[in-house]
A and B are shown apart, each in its own frame.
Chain A
Amino acid sequence: MTKKRKRLGAITKGSLVEGLEMKLDSAQSIEEIKAGKFIVIDGEKNQFFSMITDMRLDSTNPEILLNPPDEENGIMREILSGTNTYATVCLKPMLMVDKTTCPEEKPEIRPVKSIPAHFSGVYEAQDEDVSKIFGDEGLGTKYFNIGTPLDMKSPVCLNLERFVERSNGIFGKSGTGKTFLTRLVLSGLVRNSKAVNLIFDMHNEYGWDARKEGGGSAFVKGLKQLFNEKVAIFTLDPDSTRGREVQPDFTVQIPYNQIEVDDVLPLEEVLNLTSTALESSYLIRSRFEKEWLRTLLDQDSRDLSDFAEEIGADAKSIGALHRKLSRLKDFKFLTKKAPQVDAVQKIMEYIEKGKHIVLEFGRQSSLLCYLLVANILTRRIHHRYIKKTENYLCTKNPSDEPKHLVITIEEAHKFLNPCAAKQTIFGIIAREMRKYYVSLLVVDQRPSGIDDEVLSQLGTRITSQLNDEKDIQAVLTGVSNTAGLRAVLASLDSKQQALILGHAVPMPVVIKSRNYDEDFYRDMIKSSYTGKVVDISRVIARW
């Protein structure tokens, strides 16, 4: 162990299951110790990379606590500190590295199966430890710098290849920077070309200029500005998109005959549809097939009882269904005639070319619209992916292999709540994982609303501050030994801090997320692997 390391204390007790306890050296201030901090325990044969999960104040004598030193008697307090009164810090060892490995060999990083001996020294981690564990962008395209551990400068890298292997989640209370974290991750995926992204952009935050966190008039660049040709902006509301001086690549229109009953099912909660009304829609579907919705909405409300009689349904439920689905008429992107270019076809073309798509909703930012469109498009895209995958499995021709698609959805609990997850396409994608080359990036502020089965399948979770006990519990679903992580999650700062755990990082870690600023833009437009820089003046002109 190098001498430069700052010693924090010594291990005094603990267990493999419950974690370890360290007595903090009296020279160290307890206030400098933060939950989530990345530290190293120097055992006899192994180094244990650990996270601080909790801390508490202890004393050797209860009498001191009954008669504490006077407020003005600072000397007495300092005398007692570290001798009669002391701080105990709880640690959770996450990984261990054999110290006896020759310096030339790459040390093997293993899960913790042992614990360090009594009084092993505990030290602050150094930058080299972070790169040893989390990799380095210089090591290849699979690593993407997402931030730094607390109080450190060395970057924590996400392993993007592992990240896209499964569905992932980004969680956090409103205003804690979910959108920024999502934009960071998406930038990484786009820059390193690890998957093609389809982003359902409810609030027009990913494609072009987005308001800077913290309000004010400052704006940050969107993906289109950073990656230009690699990213296409699709819109449901071309007027709104153009109003922001953005030229959309494609205007999405959906004919009524593409809407299935299954696409209406997830709207049950938003439209307050009853199960009888939904059953009636199946009746209409069986009679009018693809034109079911247009036929229903074309009915005059006065003639509904005749219509109900004609198809053999209850008049009241048909009335309710008609009344509630009539809200869809307000959506300008829903057309009676099939548009010249089918939206799904266009999306597939772009995906095949490896172009990432941001679908802006413009002023159509109602939850109803978002749920409807995301479901309709995803269902068809998924259907096509199944066909493509089956074709690839038959031909085994590498050129037929579908490009990995990551679909980003916001307000995910509306799609993936225990009821909807069993019915909607998103529930299926979350469970099927990468079998059909489609995975999800779910962004949500209320993870407790998401189905447990879906949560447990999420590979990597990036979580900003959460306070609700249910939400914390939900984020840690499917993660073993979560006692320490709970405290860490609850103590995150409300800005720029996140806990990352799961498939894409070797151990859970709290990060201060990377700044989304000029340096970041510069990094993104640089072809990272070759070190080749594209003509910056052109890019800046584009901004």
Chain B
Amino acid sequence: MNKSGEVLESSTREVMAECRDKDSIPPLGSLVKIETTPVILAVVYNVFTYCIEPNRRPTAYGLSIEELEEEQPQIFELLKTAFQAVIVGFYQDGVYHQFSPPLPPSLHSFVYPCSEEELKSFTEGKDFLRMIMNLNRGQSDEIIISFVRQAWTAYKRDKLFLIDMGKELSILFKDDYDRLRSIMRRIMK
């Protein structure tokens, strides 16, 4: 299985990992697993690119990507892609736990994308949604939409799954009917 990245910053709440190449970048809202003991699961909430040379800023060349790769190949060595993921649980003794792991993932451990089967098994519980909601960075709604859309695809767009997920969200959002409606509308599009 292709690695998505390698952990460079770590806590019991979230991790930051760097991707080795552009094909391995995990999409926003995807479920990833960090191969430590126990296996830790996280949802990607931010993907970003940065320059490893602190004194250099990327500048516009007016060339296509192919032309750039030919004429200025060094800039791709200086630019890196990383992602941040919120920890939503861990897998131990054959059970998915949907709360924070006792210890953060080790630095330099590898991050892998979860398979559809893993995604389906993990989403049998719905308590992890609260951990995404607690991100409190103005983007939890977007993450939830991306995550649920991916999970729903794994479930072959099963109506019952979406209803269950919607009921859980409606409980989390309490009286915020507009927010629920907006999220569900975007998931179903």
A residues neighboring B (CB under 8 Å): 26, 60-61, 63-64, 67, 69, 75-76, 78-80, 82-84
Contact = CB atoms under 8 A, between A and B. Distances in A.
A60 B170 CA distance: 11
Interface of B: 159, 162-163, 166-167, 169-171, 175, 177-178, 180-181, 184, 188
14 contacts: A60-B175, A63-B177, A64-B177, A67-B181, A69-B181, A75-B163, A76-B166, A76-B181, A79-B163, A79-B169, A79-B180, A79-B184, A82-B167, A83-B167
A80 B181 CA distance: 10
B177 A84 contact: yes
A80 B188 contact: no
State the 7 A-B residue pairs at the shortest beta-carbon distance, nearest first.
A79-B166, A83-B170, A63-B177, A78-B163, A61-B175, A83-B167, A64-B177
A26 B170 CA distance: 14
Given A75-B166, A79-B166, A79-B170, A61 B181 contact: no
A80 B162 contact: no
B163 to A, nearest CB: 5
B60 to A, nearest CB: 45
A282 B166 CA distance: 84
Contact of B188 (A63, A67, A75, A82): A75
B162 A75 contact: yes
Given A79-B170, A80-B170, A83-B171, A61 B163 contact: no
Contacts of B180: 79
A61 B188 CA distance: 23
Given A67-B181, A69-B181, 12 more contacts: A63-B178, A64-B177, A75-B163, A75-B184, A75-B188, A76-B184, A78-B166, A79-B162, A79-B180, A80-B170, A84-B170, A84-B177
Contacts of A75: 159, 162-163, 166, 184, 188
A61 B171 contact: no
B179 to A, nearest CB: 11
A348 to B, nearest CB: 73
| Max count, chain A CB within 10 A of own CB: residue among B171, B181, B188 | B181
Nearest to A79: B166
A25 to B, nearest CB: 13
Contacts of B177: 61, 63-64, 67, 84
A134 B7 CA distance: 72
A80 B171 CA distance: 10
A82 to B, nearest CB: 7
Contacts of A76: 166, 181, 184
A152 to B, nearest CB: 31
Contacts of B175: 60-61, 63
Contacts of A26: 167
A502 to B, nearest CB: 45
Nearest to B175: A61
Nearest to B159: A75
Contacts of B184: 75-76, 79
A8 B188 CA distance: 31
Contacts of A63: 175, 177-178
B131 to A, nearest CB: 20
A402 B151 CA distance: 82
Nearest to B188: A75
B127 to A, nearest CB: 16
Contacts of B169: 79
| Max count, chain A CB within 10 A of own CB: residue among B163, B171, B180, B188 | B163
Nearest to B169: A79
B178 A79 contact: no
Given A60-B175, A61-B175, A64-B177, A79 B167 contact: yes
Contacts of A80: 170
A75 B188 CA distance: 9
Nearest to A77: B163
A69 B177 CA distance: 11
